[in-house]
């Protein structure tokens, strides 16, 4: 996917600007999981070190800054959110039987499903424990609602695998639950830990939810149009699993020859033999790739619009840049 | 396994005596998991309805009674503990690739690993949410420590699969983590919800931990000597997975001909071809079955000894009966 022409140059400056904070998060992430069993840190650190973009901790940090600055509990909050994310990656890879993620073998591939599922449980419980030390009971309630939403989004996606009846509303509900819910929580936790008031916390939460939707639309686009080597995992996996994402949903709705062709390609009898270049070409020709890209840009713009009260603040500009990054990323 | 001669007749009266409370738990258990997706209650209710002994909620209720009576939050506490247990069963069956549990097909067998793993996540998060509504933050911290212990116990067991170097200390640590930790929490939650003081809560917690150890020793014995039809799942599964439990650990330690024979049987090249009757016979002849049974009885007696302060109370007698039930059960 070539970068959108609307992407500004300062995206590259975003992560350097919060690098010292993110470095602290990296250190804490590596310290927080303890066990007598060597396999626990092995599996866990493998997952941590596969890297990832640390979008969620960055969001917690940036929302804390917007509310006045990093508070005494901000780092623990950011680490807890990333632990929930890492646990969900471990579970997802077991559930999808994935071999590769971020150019490395998955934990389930190396250590087997048992270790991957159990270390995920371990990481998730560690996140709850971390938050229980620094937050109040309402935060725990919000966390549990988020984990329920994440599971529900994944379950809904599993339920509709192989169906061509997924429409945009259902698609947005699924990605809202499975992805945006945790970004919303990441933003809320940042604002809460910096003593934002209820209105400010709600602003951050809505920003996080919109950003999360944009993030997942782009993720789904990258699975269709991205470069396998850059992404570090096989592309086309959604279609191979029978999962419709925004671009094919758009194409199928048109009821024209392109829609027929997309239907044939995504409903192929042997999905492992998917002709991805052909699917990509027809989705590009039908304008469906552009449609999905514009949807992501609109969601990112809506995220930024939430921040109108903070116009002129440098901390708000960083969140604008984060939204730009989410759209511009190629992995 | 024939009932031990020390088992009194009043075991049968235990569950009828708390039946009305347990009925309320059953109703709450069925109401507490909500989802837009039909598959969530399907998978969840299948797991709930497979029944189980509800030892953990019974423990919460009985410890609440010991502290003066069922409090306003006791039922929610009992339900949360059972949710954590049900989630762990779902995960275990995925992890062990089990087909049968309690005479029914497992959820992973019917709905696949994805649904089973994700509904387990759903149930676990629902438990946290339930407790967050009725407990304080320290209870959440205790819950998360328990879930970490459960995962660590399972991981330790997975790590040692196929090893004959597991000794009694390691065995007790593993079953303490994977099983006794949740019974200890169940007891603690009951005492806390009935406003027990710190000492009384600690008594209940220790009772629960000891009872949990006894419970798992008996569970492991039933897997060697139990009746497949009564238990509702294949026996011999521990040995087939390469997991040593107390009786074979005892036999292997003797260094005699029986130990050699046990080693040959548990280290068979094809564990699916396990000669369970032969293993059972040699473990009986070597006194190892009796050894494990006496160990379970000793642990149950230690659990009861914790309750000395409550001698003469009818609520204490119910906990004594629960300990007797744990030893006497045949499934």
Query: Can you give the pTM of this predicted structure?
Result: 0.93
pLDDT digits (tens, 9 = 90+) for A188-223: 999 999 999 999 999 999 999 999 999 999 999 999
Residue B138's pLDDT is: 97
Other C-beta atoms within 10 Å of A225: how many? 20
pLDDT given for residue B52 in this prediction = 82
Within 8 A by CB and 6+ apart from B74, the residues are B60, B61, B64, B190, B193, B194
Q: What percent of chain A has pLDDT over 90?
A: 79
Residues forming a β-bridge with A100: A105
pLDDT of residue B21: 93
Q: Cα separation of A53 and A329, whole Å?
A: 10
* B121 → chain A, closest CA residue: A151
For the cut 50, the answer to whether the pLDDT of residue A61 exceeds it is yes
Beta carbons of A43 and A111 less than 8 angstroms apart: yes
**Cα A188 from Cα A60, distance rounded (Å):** 7
Q: In a 10 Å sphere around its CB, with 0-12 CB exposed, 13-18 middle and 19+ buried, how is residue A100 labelled?
A: middle
Residue-level pLDDT at A195: 92
Question: Of A62, A64, A59, A57, whose CA–CA distance to A80 is shortest?
Answer: A57
Q: What 3-state DSSP class applies to A283?
A: helix
Cβ–Cβ under 8 Å, residues B125 and A147: yes
Q: How far is A124 from chain B (nearest CA, A)?
A: 9
Give residue A268's pLDDT.
80
ipTM above 0.90, yes or no: yes
Contacts of A178 in chain B (CB under 8 A): none
Q: Which of A96-105, A310-319, B243-252, B280-289 has the lowest mean pLDDT?
A: A96-105
- Angstroms from A7 CA to nearest CA on chain B: 37
Residues in chain A: 331
pLDDT band per the 50, 70, 90 thresholds, residue A97: confident
CB contact under 8 A, B91 and A118: yes
Using an 8 Å Cβ cutoff, are B61 and B22 in contact? yes
Burial of residue B268 (CB within 10 Å: 0-12, 13-18, 19+) is middle
E strand or H helix at B104? strand B104-105
Cα Rg, chain A, nearest whole Å: 20
Q: Is A119 on the interface with B (CB under 8 A)?
A: yes
The answer to whether B57 and B81 are in contact (CB under 8 A) is: yes
- CB of B296 closer than 8 Å to CB of B217: yes
CATH class of the structural domain B11-323: mainly alpha
CA distance B192 to B142: 12
> What average pLDDT does range A109-125 have in this prediction?
93
Domain boundaries, chain B: 11-323
Are the Cβ atoms of A151 and B118 closer than 8 angstroms?
yes
A35 touches B at CB < 8 Å: yes
Nearest CA in chain A to B115: A155
The band of A103, judged by pLDDT with boundaries at 50, 70 and 90, is: confident
CB B64 within 8 A of CB B58: no
Q: Are B180 and B212 within 8 A, CB to CB?
A: yes
Start-to-end CA distance of chain A, whole Å, equals 10
Query: Which residues are bridge partners to B104 per DSSP?
Result: B101
Q: Are strands B104-105 and A100-101 parallel, antiparallel or unpaired?
A: unpaired
Task: Spell out, as residue ranges, where chain B has pLDDT lower than 70.
Answer: 1-12
- Beta-ladder partners of A104: A101
**B100 beta partners:** B105
> What are the tens digits of pLDDT across the range A160-174?
999 999 999 999 999
C-beta separation of A18 from A25 below 8 A: no
Task: State both tokens at B140.
Answer: 């959440």
Let me know if A172 is exposed, middle or buried by CB neighbors in 10 A (0-12, 13-18, 19+): middle
Q: Is the pLDDT of residue A66 over 80?
A: yes
Over residues A2-37, the pLDDT tens digits come to 444 444 445 667 777 788 999 999 999 999 998 999
| Confidence class for position A122, pLDDT limits 50, 70, 90 | very high
């Amino acid at each position: 996917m070539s970068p959108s022409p609307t992407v500004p140059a300062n995206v590259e400056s975003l992560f350097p600007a919060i690098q010292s904070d993110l470095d602290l998060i990296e250190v804490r992430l590596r310290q927080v999981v303890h066990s007598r069993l060597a396999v626990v840190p092995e599996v866990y650190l493998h997952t941590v070190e596969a890297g990832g973009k640390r979008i969620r901790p960055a969001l917690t940090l940036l929302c804390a800054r917007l509310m006045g600055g990093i508070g005494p509990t901000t780092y623990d909050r950011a680490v807890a959110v990333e632990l929930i994310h890492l646990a969900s990656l471990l579970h997802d890879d077991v559930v999808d039987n994935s071999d590769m993620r971020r150019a490395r073998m998955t934990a389930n591939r190396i250590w087997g499903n048992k270790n991957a599922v159990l270390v995920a449980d371990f990481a998730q419980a560690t996140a709850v424990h971390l938050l229980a030390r620094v937050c109040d009971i309402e935060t725990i309630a919000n966390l549990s609602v988020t984990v329920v939403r994440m599971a529900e989004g994944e379950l809904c996606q599993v339920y509709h695998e192989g169906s061509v009846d997924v429409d945009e509303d259902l698609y947005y509900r699924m990605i809202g639950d499975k992805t945006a819910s945790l970004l919303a929580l990441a933003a809320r936790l940042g604002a809460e830990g910096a003593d934002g008031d209820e209105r400010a916390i709600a602003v951050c939460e809505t920003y996080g939810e919109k950003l999360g939707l944009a993030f997942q639309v782009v993720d789904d686009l990258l699975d269709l149009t991205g470069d396998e080597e850059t992404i570090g995992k096989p592309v086309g996996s959604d279609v191979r699993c029978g999962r419709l994402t925004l671009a094919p949903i758009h194409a199928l709705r048109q009821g024209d020859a392109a829609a027929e062709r997309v239907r044939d390609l995504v409903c192929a009898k042997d999905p492992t033999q998917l002709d991805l270049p052909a699917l990509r070409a027809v989705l590009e020709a039908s304008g469906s790739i552009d449609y999905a890209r514009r949807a992501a840009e609109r969601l990112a713009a809506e995220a930024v619009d939430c921040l109108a009260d903070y116009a002129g603040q440098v901390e708000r500009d960083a969140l604008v840049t984060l939204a730009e990054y989410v759209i511009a990323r190629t992995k």
